Amino acid sequence: MKDWPEKPYLEPKTAGRTYLEWLSTASERSRPTPQRPVGLEVLREQYRQNQPIKRKLLRFARLYKRHGRRCLSQWHQLPPGVSWEAVEVALKGIVKNGLVEEEPAHTLKAGRAMRGARKHA
């Protein structure tokens, strides 16, 4: 005999499954789904249609690949409806998909192309 009466409302509602099965599926449902940053679709559409924004994104992706988040401070005005998180996700996607090539040779400054070379006196 128990010292207290059973209270069914305190028992987990497992719907005929074992407690471990119920617990594992309950945690999967309770995880929040990651939200896309505001304006990511706007950036994608502008990337496809607008050549200046495409060049700007590719230029900043090159900088992002080299310097990380520090380069975002050089971007002065965001397109309307676009968040900084969307810009960063877009830059990461461009770098990840290999759309960024190394800096073109004609834009390299003199002396920078021979990084690591010894100077002759």
Q: Give 54-98 as a 3 state SS string.
A: HHHHHHHHHHHHHHHHHHHHHCCCCCCCCCHHHHHHHHHHHHHCC
Residue 52 has pLDDT above 60, yes or no: yes
Total domains in the chain come to 1
Say whether 21 sits in a helix, a strand or coil. helix
Residue 11 has pLDDT above 70, yes or no: no
83: in domain: yes
Least confident of 1-5, 90-94, 99-103: 1-5
60: in domain: yes
**Are residues 42 and 88 in contact, defined by beta-carbon separation less than 8 angstroms?**
no
24: in domain: no
Range of the domain at 84: 40-101
pLDDT for position 35: 79
pLDDT for position 77: 84
The overall pTM is greater than 0.95: no
pLDDT for position 109: 58
